[in-house]
Amino acid sequence: MKIICEKEKLLKGINSVINGVASKTTMPVLEGILIQTNDKEVKLTTYDLEIGIEYIIECDVKNQGNTVVNATMFSEIIRKLPDTEITISINENNLLEIECEGSLYKLATMNPEEFPELPKINIDNSIEIEQNLLKNMIRKTIFAVSNEENRPIFTGCLFEVKDNKLNVVAVDGYRLALKTNLLNSEANSFHAVIPGKTLNEINKIILDSFDTIKIGISKNQALFEMENCKIVTRLLDGEFLNYNNAIPANWETRIRVNKNNIQNCFERIILISSSSIEKEKKYPVKISIEIGKVIISCTNQTGDAKEEIYVSTEGKNLEVGFNPRYFLDALKVIEDEEIYIDFGTNISPCIIRPVESDEYNYMILPIRMKE
């Protein structure tokens, strides 16, 4: 095997596949990148038995061949080489040689026949969506994915196609994020739960462009395909939350507020709420709603803070406690100038909604305040 490739192209391919490398495994070959040539292309593949990533690079292939090389070592060497052409070849001792200007590195290789094949997927349902739209939908929901492995179904996002819309939903037991987009073409209804780890990797790879990405779903696998990249992932098993029933349809108190104004309030007040001497304790902020204004306050051993902003209000006066971090996570991904925040009682969740559409919903559960 011998190839000559621009560093920029090679590094883009490595960066796209590197997070499919297994971090803890009894199979050393899964710690590597499978390098395969095909005419004028090189395919890089990584697979940790849960997510597999393939990336194709156009380059000058002098001699065909396949090999596996340790991913960390290979990527770090390529990253630090000069920005020019790099020659990669296998020598007579089966070592991978990396040459660039005056640099020469030799790495041990592994048997490519031991590298497991990515699952073959028989697609039952599929959609195509612009990459920038998918990137936006992931960014606006992924923060609400659970990190608790004892509830694995919530460590992923629900992808639901219904009424020619794609709904992406994340929930962690304390909050829920829902983002909706209309599809440009007719699609069958289906749903699948994609692991959050996979979605984070997809978001790093896809572009903020109008180029499309195809999402294919089978019984227990999903396939994401772009022009030069393919990502295969297992689906999460289990019953996802019935989010339509979980999101309250009615409210007793509603405020209409400038998004940046209330976000700035939370960013300031969180300096007090998260600075407690007793780090293990969680100190909520209190939201008090009166006619025409909202008061956000917090008190702990470090000090106390109070923010007051004038807003449009409807319904009853209310006092309720929340984790300010959950509010900030949602507010940071909202681009609207004004939003509704709907409340029920002081033990009911609140909902952050757009003023003029139904393209997103953020639900946050309250925290009981000490008297």
User: What DSSP letter does each residue of 224-292 carry, written as one string?
Assistant: EE-SSEEEEEEPPPS----HHHHS-S--SEEEEEEHHHHHHHHHHHHHHHT--SSTT---PEEEEEETT
Helices (H), 123-258: 131-139, 196-205, 243-246
Q: Which residues contact 43 (CB under 8 A, 6 or more apart)?
A: 34, 35, 36, 37, 54, 55, 56, 57
User: Which tokens belong to 337?
Assistant: 């100038």
Residue 158, classified by CB atoms within 10 Å of its CB into exposed (0-12), middle (13-18) or buried (19+), is: buried
Domain ranges of the chain: 2-114, 125-242, 247-364
pLDDT for the residue numbered 277: 47
Backbone dihedral angles phi then psi of residue 96, each to the nearest 5 degrees? -85, 120
Q: What is the DSSP letter of 195?
A: E
Q: In angstroms, rounded to a whole number, what is the distance separating the alpha carbons of residues 359 and 173?
A: 22
pLDDT for the residue numbered 192: 97
Q: Give the torsion sign (CA, 220, 20, 223, 128).
A: positive
Q: Give the torsion sign (CA, 248, 253, 254, 259).
A: negative
User: Which tokens belong to 247?
Assistant: 């999101």
pLDDT for the residue numbered 30: 96
Pairing of strands 95-100, 51-58: unpaired
Architecture per CATH, 247-364: Roll (3.10)
Q: Domain spanning 125-242: which superfamily?
A: DNA Polymerase III, subunit A, domain 2 (3.10.150.10)
Architecture per CATH, 2-114: Roll (3.10)
SS3 call for 84 = coil
pLDDT for the residue numbered 282: 61
pLDDT for the residue numbered 303: 86
Q: What share of the chain is helix, strand, coil (3-state, %, to 5)?
A: 25, 45, 35
pLDDT for the residue numbered 39: 87
Q: 233 pairs with which residues across the strands?
A: 51, 222
Whether 125-242 and 2-114 are alike in CATH topology: the answer is: yes
pLDDT for the residue numbered 24: 83
- CB of 177 closer than 8 Å to CB of 170: yes
SS3 call for 50 = coil
For the chain of 371 residues, list the mean pLDDT of each consecutive stretch of 10: 96 94 90 95 95 96 97 97 96 96 96 95 95 97 94 96 96 96 92 96 91 95 95 96 94 97 95 64 85 94 91 96 95 97 95 96 91 59
CA-to-CA separations, 315 to 197, 241, 250, 256, 310, in angstroms, rounded: 41, 29, 12, 12, 15
